[in-house]
Structure 1
Amino acid sequence: MTSRGGRRGQAELRRDHRRDRYALCSAVFAAAVVFGAVAGPALLFDLPGTAEGLPPRAGPVLAPVLFAVRVVSVPARFRPADQPSQPGRTSPDS
C-alpha cells in the first residue's frame, strides 16, 4: 500500500526489489573491502606487538557495522518523495 492508500503497481515493486538487492550486494562488497583493508595486513605480514593483534579483532567488528549502515542507508536515500494529489497543490489537504 502506498502512503495515499492505493496499491503499489508492478513497476514500483520491481523498483523496490532492485533497490533492496543493490543495498545488500553493495553492503556485502563494502564490508568485505573494509574487513580486508583492516585485518588483511595483520594476516599477511608479521606486525610488531599490538599492531598484530588489534586489526584482526577490529575487522570483524567494523565489517558488520558497515554492512548494517549500508543496508539501512540505501533504501532511505532512494525513498521516493510523496507527490501532491493535484498539480499545483502543495499537499493533499490543500
Structure 2
Amino acid sequence: MTSDGGRRTQAERDAITVEIGYALCSAVFAAAVLFGAVAGPAYVFGLAGGARATLTGVGAALAVVVFVVRVVSVLMRFRSRSGSGQPGRPGRTSPDS
C-alpha cells in the first residue's frame, strides 16, 4: 500500500523491482572490487598464512559493510526520489505530465 492508502500500480511495482535489482547488483560489484583490492595482494604476492588470513578477513568484513551501505543508500535515494516527484492523489498531475 502507498502512503496515501492506495494500491501500487504495475509500473510502480516494476520500478521498485528494478531499483532493488540495481541496488543488489551494484552492491555486489562494489563489494567484490573492494574485497579484491584488499585481499588480492595477499594472493598475488604469495604472503604467508597469517598475513593472508588477516587481509582476507579484513577484506571480507569491509566488503560486507560496503554491500549493506550501498544497498541502503540506493534504496533510500529511490524512496526519497519516488515520493517527491509523483502526485500523491489521483487527479493531481505533475507539471511535467
* Poorly superposed stretches of 4+, deviation over 3 Å: 50-54, 82-87
Query: Which residue identity lines up with residue 34 of structure 1 in the other structure?
Result: L
Between the two proteins, the alignment pairs up a number of residues equal to: 86
CA contact (8 A) 1:43 1:56 kept: no
Structure 2, unmatched stretches of 5+, are none
Give, in whole Å, the separation in 1 of the partners of 2:52 and 2:20: 37
- Structure 2-normalised TM-score? 0.76
Query: Which residue identity lines up with residue 83 of structure 2 in the other structure?
Result: A
Give, in whole Å, the separation in 2 of the partners of 1:3 and 1:25: 28
Structure-2 residue corresponding to 1:61: 61
Structure-2 residue corresponding to 1:70: 70
Structure-2 residue corresponding to 1:34: 34
Give, in whole Å, the separation in 2 of the partners of 1:57 and 1:68: 17
Structure 1, unmatched stretches of 5+, are 88-94
Aligned-residue CA RMSD (Å):
2.2
For residues 56-90 of structure 1, give each alpha carbon's deviation from its aligned partner in whole angstroms, at most 9, with x where no partner exists: 22101101111111111111011112445567xxx
Identity over aligned pairs, percent? 55
Which structure has the larger Rg?
Answer: 1
Higher share of residues assigned helix: 2
Structure-1 residue corresponding to 2:83: 81
- Structure 1-normalised TM-score? 0.78
Query: Which residue identity lines up with residue 58 of structure 1 in the other structure?
Result: V
Give, in whole Å, the separation in 2 of the partners of 1:52 and 1:18: 38
| Secondary structure, counterpart of 1:78 in structure 2 | helix
Shift of 1:55: 2.0
Q: Report whether the alignment pairs 1:45 with 2:51.
A: no
